[in-house]
Amino acid sequence: MVVEAHERVADLLLDLLAVPSVTGDEAAIAAVLADRYAARGERVRRVAESLVVGDPEASRPVVLLVAHTDTVPPTDADRVPRRDGERVVGRGASDMKAGLAVAMDVLEDRAARSGPVELVLVAYAGEEGAHAGNQLGRVLDEVPALRRAALAVVLEPTDLEVHLGCMGTLHAEVAFPGRAAHSARPWQGENALTAAAPLLAALAARPPADLTVDGLPFREVLVPTQAWTANARNVVPDRFTVNLNYRYAPDKSPAEAEDAVRAAVTEAAGTAVELTVSDHAPAGRPARDDAYVAAFTAATGATVGPKQAWTDVGRLSAAGVPALNFGPGLTAQAHQAGEHVPLANLAAGRAALVHALGALPGGRYT
């Protein structure tokens, strides 16, 4: 019996959702994928809990189908994967096991594999955690042929739009010094918490910055996201730390982004504070003029916009690989309780991906 492609992708997605893979616990899903493709006679290279399936050293143009396998922790509303009417519910349904399922089904399609480009699946761990723990960087280092790919399609949730480039994201901890005292006699100390007031007020009044890069609008923001002290509640704190998250446009280098944060903090709070960059994932250029990016985008006929978030398009761009975001998941469902993806998006995403891959330039790629 012939199974329709959309049913096949939905069943595959449910199988993937049935394997818990919260960040840091991706061994089980890595084993499932490794066994699946070894049984199919594919060339499989495993790097930690990540896999490369296919031949990245092929002489014809190589296109990477890139998807992370990890998810954020489940909620009671999506812990049990299931079909619910015209959608699939489960943790990671939209972000991004739907994209992984579509990529896998296309890779396993002989007709799609016989097109003008060589398809290689990159299924990697650690995307939802800190940048340093993201295993795609290690995969690119240990399988260097991937860096010569003509294009990488990152199947993050995009609502079936093509999202070019990505924002950079920088986390910086700003520590305000003080002098401890009993809270009944605060004049005997210096309150580190209230010392942060000028910076917090400046950030509250700071408007988003709208920038255009390669004809696409990106919106920069610098916002406080966490704050903490280590003192008891009846002690004037001698140290107060605020975490800042800077989401910056792809016109800036990592060094320029760090300089911008330091300048903003110094202007509002002075030089007495300590600033430490704790996590930094660089932005990715849209690469709108690249021949493969342009051909893929045109073939999909999809709406084209900027990625107003960070994805591994940034890491791939830094490695010299033209990359774009295109996936069946819903951006508004990422990390939501009861996470789901429409069945129709699986079918439409698969069809658009196959069509776009077939429209790419072929021949020998150097």
Do both 224 and 345 map to the same domain? no
What three-state secondary structure class fits 162? Answer: strand
- Dmax over Cα atoms in the chain, in whole Å? 82
348 & 306 share domain: yes
CATH assignment at residue 260 = 3.30.70.360
Q: Which residues contact 197 (CB under 8 A, 6 or more apart)?
A: none
Same domain, yes or no: 272 and 346: no
pLDDT tens track of the chain, all 366 residues? 345 777 999 999 999 999 999 999 999 999 999 999 999 999 999 999 999 999 999 999 999 999 999 999 999 999 999 999 999 999 999 999 999 999 999 999 999 999 999 999 999 999 999 999 999 999 999 999 999 999 999 999 999 999 999 999 999 999 999 999 999 999 999 999 999 999 999 999 999 999 999 999 999 999 999 999 999 999 999 999 999 999 999 999 999 999 999 999 999 998 889 999 999 999 999 999 999 999 999 999 999 999 999 999 999 999 999 999 999 999 999 999 999 999 999 999 999 999 999 999 985 544
Q: Which of 281, 310, 331 is the last residue of a domain?
A: 281
Q: Residue 365: inside a domain, yes or no?
A: no
Domain count, the chain: 2
Beta-carbon contacts of residue 323 (< 8 Å; ≥ 6 apart): 66, 151, 152, 153, 154, 284, 287, 293, 312, 313, 316, 317
pTM for the model stands at 0.92
Closest CA to 155 of 283, 329, 322, 342: 329
Q: Do 18 and 136 lie in a common domain?
A: yes
Q: Could you tell me if 56 and 140 lie in one domain? A: yes
Q: Indicate if 48 and 137 belong to the same structural domain.
A: yes
Residues 33 and 175 reside in one and the same domain: no
Q: Please name the residue that has the structure tokens 């990697």.
A: 124
Angle at 66 (CA atoms; ends 62, 72), nearest 5 degrees: 175
**Could you say which of 281, 310, 338 is where a domain stops?**
281
Please say whether the beta carbons of 19 and 27 come within 8 A: no
For residue 364, tell me if it sits in a domain: no
Domain closes at, from 231, 250, 281: 281
Half-sphere exposure at residue 203, Cβ-oriented, CA atoms within 13 angstroms:
22
Supply the residues annotated as catalytic.
70, 127
What single-letter amino acid sits at 111? A
- 184 in the same domain as 108: no
CB 13 within 8 Å of CB 5: no
| Pair (158, 183) in one structural domain | no
Indicate if 144 and 259 belong to the same structural domain.
no
Domain extent at residue 75: 5-166+284-358
In a domain, 363, yes or no: no
Q: Are 255 and 332 members of one domain?
A: no
CATH number at residue 81: 3.40.630.10
